[in-house]
Each structure stands twice: as structure tokens, then as C-alpha cells.
Chain A
Amino acid sequence: MQATGKKKAALTFQELLFTLQRFWADQGCVLQQPYDVEVGAGTMSPDTFLRVLGPKPVRIAYAQPSRRPADGRYGENPNRLFRHTQLQVILKPPPVRIQELYLESLTAIGIDLREHDIKFEEDNWEWPVGGAWGVGWQVMLDGLEITQFTYFQQCGGMDLDPICGEITYGLERIAGFLQDVDSIYDIVWAVEPDTGRKVTYGEMRLAEEEQFSAYSFDYADVSKLWEHLNLYESECLSLLNQAKNFEKMDSLELKRFPVLGAYELALKCSHVFNLLDARGAISVTERVGVMARIRTLVVGVARIYAAQGQLLESAV
């Protein structure tokens, strides 16, 4: 049985992505490409984490591969991935009709709401390392969580004004639902129009799940990972330190100061931490300490990003 009725075939994985991107582009969102540094969630991309700061309105959408090494299952679990793909939509300030827009986007991908049971259940979001949190819901469709919907309240430990609406679609979940398959690996990613051959999610990604699970659980060299962490951290700290001279910089220097570079280094640290964690290499005493170190970097970057923005604004 088809979960979406018999009228037309369910969208392929890529058609799902196209349709949602088209939908949000039509709402004025700039379509950004995925961020090319490892992140644990779409929220950590600078297109969310940094753009939500400050007064400047933002409408942006992007598909973000998100890596969570500890969630790897060697490709053996039909519902869990080391790397999954989120579609992230950021609307700052959130339009009054944001919930209705979201529901329209579901209609756009072929979900007739009158044929389904949809609920918005409280689910607040928090990323302590980034000093970020918001309130919102998990959106449940016939018992399946398909979206995290969050009103971002704080980021980098700073209150947001205006606040920001964040919609995060779990693309694999939704595709599995639309196509009514029990394993993520059976999702049809694309269909060749001339031959009718179906390319599946497994064909495209299973090897990666197997190998990266093995890497993060069995192969990753713990002492090397520590070295990476220390190196990325010290470079990030050095940038944070140089940012103390913002007041003395002329506007060109200020504009070119690599806050974004500092953020990439902080994200690298976060990912290395996740690898060490998956590898079982973080002891009790270390865990609290390392989290605090990464928080210093991430929150530090958010602050200098805000400061840079303000100084540039007042210089104009």
C-alpha cells in the first residue's frame, strides 16, 4: 500500500529535495549549498549559527549532510545513520504564517493533510556547547517525527532580536514515509528516465556508512585525533585573541578578519570530539573539560561575529 494514495508515484529522494527547495525558494529563501565542513546538525552550519545573530533579516534554505559518528551502525540498522541529510530552513524574523507555510510545504511534496494525522508536540531544542536554544515542536505525521520546528531564542549565549524560525526536515525519514519502505537503504534516490532503472539510497551510501562506522569505532587513531583537536583549537584561540584588536583595525582589516575561518576551526574541534567520543576515548574528567574548551571556541566566535557585524554597521 502506498502511504500517499494511488494517484501518483511517490517522489524520489532527489525529487523530494527539489520540491522542498523550490517551495522555499518561492517563499523568498536563498538556496545555499551544503556547508563543506563536518557538522553534527544543520543548525551548526554558519548559515544558521551565525546568520541568526544580529538584526539583519534572513531567509535561507539548504540541505545539510550531518555527521554523528556515535550513531553509526555499520549500515546494519535500517533506520539509523552515521550521516543523514537535513533540509534546513531559516526565517528571520519568522513570518506570522510560518506554521501554515510549513504545512503547505508538506502538501507540495504530496502529503494530503486531510488523509493523515498531524500533531505538533512540544520538543525544545538546545545546543549547550553553542550557548543556543529555542522552543518548538517535533512535527508528527501518522506517528512519525518528520520535522523539528524551533523558534530560536538564544545563540552564542546572546539573546536574539529578532528571533528566528527554524524548520529542519529529516529527508530520509520523509522519503521513507512517502515511498513506504522499511529501510532507509531501500529509498529510491533517482530513476533513470530512459531505462527506468532505480538508483537506491543504499547504492549511493551504504559503503560510506560501513566504512565510516568502522573508522569512527575501530580505526580512528586516538592520539592523532587528540593532536588534531589541540591544533585546531590553538589556531582558533589565536584568532579569537587577535579579535581583541577589532577597535584598532581600520574598516578593511575589520571586514577581512577571518571570523568565518575561526568558526570552521571550532567546528573541526567539535567533530573531532565526536569521533573521540564514538571511539570511547573520552574519560569522565576529560569530557567536561573538552566540552568546555569547545564551548569557549564556539561561543567566542559567535561573540566576535556579532561584534564585527556591529562595528562594520556603525562604520557605514
Chain B
Amino acid sequence: MAEFLFEIGLEEIPARMIASAEAELQQRVVAMLERERLVSAGVASKSFATPRRLAVWVAEVAERQQDITEELVGPSVKVAFKDGVPTPAAEAFAKKAGVAVSSLKTVTTPKGEYIAASSTKQGLDAADVIVSELPKELAAIYWAKNMYWRPGRPERFVRPVRWMAALLGAKPVKVSFGGYEAGSVTYGHRVLFGDEPIALKLPGEYEQTLEKSFVVADVAVRRHKIRKALDAVTRTVAEARWREDEDLVETVTQLTEWPSVIMGSFETEYLALPEEVLVTVMRDHQKYFAVEDKAGKLAPHFLAVLNTEADEAGLAVIRHGNERVLRARFNDARFFWEFDQRVSLADRVELLKNVTFQKDLGSYAAKTARVRKLASNLAGLVLQRKCELNPVALDEAVSLAKTDLTSELVKEFTELQGIVGGLYARAQGLSAAAADAIYDQYKPVSMEDSVPRTVEGAVLAMADKADTIAGMFGLGMEPTGSKDPFALRRAANGIVKVLAETTVALPLTLTEVAAAACGQNEALTGKVRGFLAERLEFYLREARGQAYDVVKAVLAAGADDVRDAVARAEAVTAVRGSDDFAAVSAAFRRMKNILAQAAEKSIAPGAHVEDALLAEASEKALAQRSSELAARVASLRAEKNYKAALESIATLRPQVDAFFDGVMVMVPEPEVRANRLALLTQVLGDFSGIADFSEIVTAG
């Protein structure tokens, strides 16, 4: 047994691709070694990654594959031998198995006598196996975007390969890929160590050797080092905190081999710009962390993560450079902000005619017109149901929602669209309701993001998204498989999330949203509605963590009212663990099966339950108890007290158990049979309004 190490050195890998590539390389190398019988299942392994390298270490690799003997079964004896003489079939089999005809054996199988051969495959040296198999694994790694780099283009990879190291114990393994042959040499930090080759002696020394060469190869260690440095540097300013930003920590971790942190400052006059603008400039454009005071207000400092270390004088130079860049960026932002104020949002409406939304769907002016109508329809429904909504503010917000696309600030910082519009609306004296709605219009941008703060904002956000979905579906540009170039799934997830999570319940159904977006086109409405329902299923599972069967059961009983579906799912999850509920669910599944089998045999249930035809005590009991319960469950359902309703249904257990113990449904007498089927139909009908319990998976 020997430890194995493989490292591939590359020109800087895009930060966003490193984590998945690191995991994939580890998974591929270990799986390959296991497939080749060189490691046992569950072997210890560890992965490493920096912008310039991906590496994997495996604990115990056999030096050689074990020989394996396989028993191969060939044609039947009758076919293989005629009068005791081997036929061509026997010869062909012997050749394939690599044995002489004389050493063929006979085995007895359930199908009769067959010939067989024992074939021994010689094990290969681990190094030889790795040399032949590892390059295929490397070539198969998935990259979101890759490139050719060598003339003749033999391979594509994320960036040019610069070296490879492969060690099995102390011995280099000559893996070839991308024009390189692996050796036992690696390289340290580009600047701090320089391009002197570093000899690796043993796989287990990899991490320490790199550490001495100013490379922290373990991503978790690097991340921790960065977080600690962020904390330490921030402490130099009294009561300051750096603004937590997990994504940014991840990015800078993948941009550095030897991280350190500096704090820089900027003139307080820039704090007059909106915080959103300052933070976007720092985070998205410069990868700086924002700093806030104890009240959570932005402080005139920033934190930059460096890929180097320097003494005080060196840090001063680097800090000065970073401050200079940030000041220029802030100056640009301030210039755009002031420049944009020359034209009001209202005057920008006209300019929207020049901004394309989508080539077949026209300009943003056209989109605005559609969304206005859509939003007004939805607002009408909301008002009809006696819910609060300011239709004037909503219409103002919708009319101006996209005008910030014509502003210089949004052209420069596209990630601030909507937010800039909201800020400008407030600066230009629009109502807070309109300004907030504009500000929140793209919310939620992800499953983790929050929903708009106001009803107006929620209606605008939904109308905008629904218009995009309906428009794209109308053009036949529906998402397929993993392809969703217009982020329609995200838009639909957003609609579902808005309906589910606004502070005040929005009385709108998915069908209403789809119909408002698609107008008279019923086929399109159906498609869009189906798409939204699919996202509701996704939402219940992913955002609410509901079990697959609960979601299926709940949606089978209605998938139109999002908040109601969430409440029903939560209630089902709350009670599903009880024995009574599980037993009732299992019984309901049985009822459904019986009805389905009857339907298959074209046996129709009676139109309704005839008490006179109820013969057995247990069926009488079920009929009586269930009709008593039905009224109670219906009223609990009407109050949306789903948990109590479900608990009531579960009390039916003694009667359903007794029914199935004592009653045969499919009896020969047609009238009795039809009546019993009618009873089951009625029970299922009365109690499946919250969820179709026959979908619930129960143990046993």
C-alpha cells in the first residue's frame, strides 16, 4: 500500500469553477482507483485547490491489482460437443476465454449442462493503470467554459495546463495530459516564491511543502485564514464590523493562494451616495468587503483581500493603490448619479422605446404597457377581495419601473436596476409606496432573497415576471432540461415565493396570475399555469423542505392557492408521524386501489350510499362515523384549521380498520358491491380535500 498524490497546475482557473472541479477531480480519481481494484471502498482521501492547482491525495493504494479469476459460462454442452468432439462453437468460446479447449469444464445450471472456463486476468501495476486511466478522467472534468490552447487542438480544458505532479509513495507516475508528463515537481506562489521548481518527496508532505512555498492548498484553511484576518484588521477601528458576505468570502478564497487583508479608507463625503451604490461598487466591482459601525451604518472603510503578504511599507503602497481605484470608482458613481438627475424618471418613459426587452416582444415601453394592464387586473382582484392596495401608487410604480434602465448609473452597475429606480423615485418626490415598489420589483432574485415589502411591490414584481414568462412561452421559448436561458424558472419561483411569503396574504391564485398574463389565449394560460404549479411543487420541496409524497398528496388536492398549499403541506407533515394517521392513509390507498380495480373491470359504484344495503356492522359503523366526521372536517377546513381537520380524520382509524377486517367489498352481489364502492367513494371524497392521502408513503 502507498499514498497517492496527483496535482495538476494550471494558469488561473476562474474562481467560480474551482470548488466543483476540486470535488469532481477527487470523486473521479477515487472512483477510478476503486473501479480498478486499487483501493477499497471508503478509502480516505483529501482534495486541495487554489487558483493555480487542483490536487487529490488518496491514503492507501495497492501497488498492484490482484489477479482475478473469472468463471465464464459458454454454450450448452449439446452445442459445444457433437459425439464428444468439440464443435467450432466450443473452440470460439475457448479462444475468447483464453484457455485451451481441453481445459473447458462442464457446469450444471437450472437450464441444463453448459460448458465453462476459468479465466485468470493478470493484475497490473498501479502506476500503469493510473497512467492509462487518469488522463481520461481529467479530460472528462466538466467546465462551464473551456478552451483550446495547443496547436492542433488535441484537448479542451478550462485554462492551459502548466505542470503535473503524480506520486505513488515516493515514485513519480508518468501521467500524460495536455502536453505534459507528470513528475514530482510542483510550484509555489507566483510572486512570493517565484518560479523555482519544488521537489515533492512523499504524497503526505504535499500540504506542508506548499505551505513553505507560500501556498495554502486546503480551501477550508484558506477560508478560515481570510475570515480571521478580516476580523483582526477590522478590530483596528473601534466598534467597526465587516459586513458578512459569504459569497464574497468564497470568491476571494478562490482568488488567492496566500491571502492577507488590508483595510483602506475613503473620504466621508462619498457616504452621501446611497449605501446600495457604495456597497455594489465595493463588492461587485472591487471584491471589497464593506465596513459598518455599531449601528449598522456604512463606515468610510473597506477591506481588500490580497494574494500576497507585505511589510508595513509594502502594505501602505498596496492600500494606497486600492484606495485610489475605489475613489475613482466612487467618483464615476457620483458623476452618474448627478448626471442622471438631469432627466426625471417621468421624462425617461419616452426613452424606453429605445431599449429592447426582447426582439420579438418589443421594447421596454411595450413591456411597460403590458405590465400596466396585467398589474391593474391583478390589483382589481385584490381590491375585490377587500384587501388593501393603493392602485394609484401601483400604476405609477409600474409606469416608471423600467425607466432606470436608461440611466447612466444602471448602465454602469446593471446589478442595481430597480434599486436605482427606487432611489431616484424617492429623490424626485414620488410617494413612498411607488418608490418602494420600484425598488423591490426584481425581488425575490433567488430562493434565499426576501419578497417585496409592500402589496404594491408584490403585485409589480409578479406582473413583471408573469409578463416575461407568458411572452417567452408565447414564442415557444420554454425552458427545457437544464437549459433556461431567460431564467424563466427563476421568475416563476419568484411568483410562487411572493404569493407564499408576503407579509399580508395576497388573495391571488396561480390560475389568476397566468390568465391575467396570457389574456384570452387559453392554451397559453394552461401552459403557464402548469409551469407555475411545477414551480410550486419545487418551492414546497426545496424552500419548505416538504417530503416528496406530502407535496404530491397536497397538490393532488389543489395546486392553485399557494399559501393554502403551504399550510396544508405543513399540517400533513405535522400529523403524518402519528400511527392513526398512517393507518388511515394506508387504508385510503387501499380504498383507491379497490376503486381503480373496479373501474378497470367496469364495475361502477352506486350513485350514493344506501343505508338499507349496508349489511355488516363494521360498514354501518364506517358510514355513520364518516358522515358525522365529514361535517366537522368540512368546517375545520373552512377555518383553515388543517391540523385539527387531519387529526379528526385520523380518528376514523378504528372504523376503517374494522371495515377492512370484516368486510369484503368485491362480493358477487351487484347491489351490495355497488353500495360498498359508493361508500368508499364517499369517504375518499369527503376526506381528500386537504391532501390525497393515498399518495402518502407509509411504512409497511
The answer to the question of B405 belonging to the interface, with a C-beta cut-off of 8 Å to chain A, is no
- Known A116-B317, A119-B307, A177-B321: A135·B328 in contact at CB below 8 Å: no
Asked if A121 CB lies within 8 Å of chain B CBs, one says: yes
| B328/A79 in contact, CB under 8 A | yes
- Chain A positions 87 through 120: 1 when the CB is less than 8 Å from some CB of chain B, otherwise 0: 0000001101001100100000000011111111
Answer whether residue A287 sits at the interface, using C-beta atoms and an 8 A cutoff.
Answer: yes
Contact partner, A118, options B191, B304, B332, B353, Cβ 8 Å: B191
Contact of B304 among A122, A135, A141, A143 (CB under 8 A): A143
A151–B149 CB distance below 8 A? yes
Nearest to B13 among chain A residues (CB) is A122
Q: How far is the CB of B655 from chain A (nearest CB, A)?
A: 66
**Does B255 sit at the interface, judged by CB under 8 A?**
yes
A282 within 8 A of B: yes
User: Are the C-beta atoms of B147 and A116 separated by less than 8 Å?
Assistant: no
What is the chain B residue whose CB lies nearest that of A3?
B321
- Whether B332 lies near A79 (C-beta < 8 A) is yes
| B145 touches A (CB below 8 Å) | yes
Within 8 A of B (CB), among A1-46: 1, 3, 5
Does A124 sit within 8 A of B, measured CB to CB? yes
State A147–B322 Cα separation when bound (angstroms): 16
CB <8 Å contact, B318 and A282: no
B149 touches A288 (CB 8 A): no
Known A-B contacts A124-B145, A284-B354, A284-B356; the reply to A77 vs B332 at CB < 8 A is yes
Using a Cβ–Cβ cut-off of 8 Å, how many residues does chain A contribute to the interface with B? Answer: 48
Find the B residue at minimum CB distance from A152.
B147
Q: Is the CB of A283 within 8 A of B152?
A: no
Which A134-154 residues have C-beta < 8 A from chain B?
A: 134-135, 137, 141-144, 151, 153
Nearest-neighbour CB distance to chain A for B380, whole angstroms, equals 30
* Residues in B whose Cβ lies below 8 Å from that of A288: 356, 359
In the assembled complex, the Cα of A124 lies from the Cα of B676 at a distance in Å of: 70
Residue contact A122 to B16, C-beta cutoff 8 Å: yes
* CB-CB nearest in chain A for B326: A143
The answer to whether the Cβ of B207 comes within 8 Å of any Cβ in the partner chain is no
Chain A residues with Cβ under 8 A from B320's Cβ? Answer: 1, 3, 142, 180
Q: Mark B298-329, 1 if CB is under 8 A from A, else 0.
A: 00000010111010001011101110111110
CB of B331 closer than 8 Å to a CB of A: yes
A309 to chain B, nearest CB (A): 17
Using known A-B contacts A122-B15, A135-B145, determine if residue A114 contacts B192 with beta carbons closer than 8 Å.
Answer: yes
The answer to whether A151 and B147 touch across the interface, beta carbons within 8 angstroms, is yes
B148 touches A114 (CB 8 A): no
B73 interface residue (CB < 8 Å to A)? no
Q: Which residues of A contact B12 (CB under 8 A)?
A: 119-122, 137
Which chain A residue lies CB-closest to B332? A79
Tell whether, in the assembled complex, residue B11 and residue A99 are in contact, meaning their CB atoms are under 8 Å apart. Answer: yes
How distant is the Cα of A3 from the Cα of B322 in the complex, in angstroms? 11
Contact: A143 with B325, CB < 8 Å? yes
**Cβ–Cβ contact A283 & B354, under 8 A:** yes
Over the window 135-159 of chain B, the binary record of Cβ atoms lying under 8 Å from chain A Cβ atoms (1 yes, 0 no) is 0000000000111111111000001
Whether, in the assembled complex, B641 has its beta carbon less than 8 Å from a beta carbon of chain A, the answer is: no
Bound-state CA distance A122–B159 (Å) is 10
In the bound complex, residues from chain B placing their C-beta under 8 Å from that of A99 are 11
Assuming the A-B contacts A79-B332, A182-B327, are A120 and B317 also in contact, with contact meaning beta carbons closer than 8 angstroms in the complex?
Answer: no
- B548 proximal to A (CB < 8 A): no
How far, in angstroms, from A124 to B159 measured CA to CA in the complex?
12
The interface residues of chain B lying within 8 Å CB-to-CB of A258 are none
Given contacts A137-B12, A161-B148, A284-B354, contact A78 B328 (CB under 8 A): yes
Contact A287 B191 (CB under 8 A): no
B316 close to A1 (CB less than 8 A): yes
Residue among A93, A119, A161, A163 making CB contact with B255, cutoff 8 Å: A119
Cβ of A161 and Cβ of B151 under 8 Å apart?
yes
Q: B195's closest neighbor in chain A, by CB?
A: A100
Given A79-B331, A113-B191, A144-B321: A162 touches B11 (CB 8 Å cut-off): no
Contacts A3-B321, A77-B335, A143-B325 given: A153-B148 contact, CB under 8 Å?
A: yes
Confirm or deny: A84 has a beta carbon within 8 angstroms of a beta carbon on chain B. no
The 6 closest A-B pairs by CB, nearest first: A142-B321, A122-B14, A120-B12, A162-B151, A143-B322, A117-B306
11 A-B interface contacts by CB (under 8 A): A3-B317, A5-B317, A78-B331, A117-B308, A118-B307, A120-B11, A121-B255, A122-B12, A159-B148, A284-B353, A284-B362
Point out residues on A near B: beta carbons under 8 Å: 1, 3, 5, 73, 76-80, 93-94, 96, 99-100, 103, 113-122, 124, 134-135, 137, 141-144, 151, 153, 159, 161-163, 177, 180, 182, 280, 282-284, 287-288
Beyond A117-B322, A282-B354, list 4 extra A-B contacts (CB 8 Å). A120-B12, A161-B151, A161-B152, A177-B324
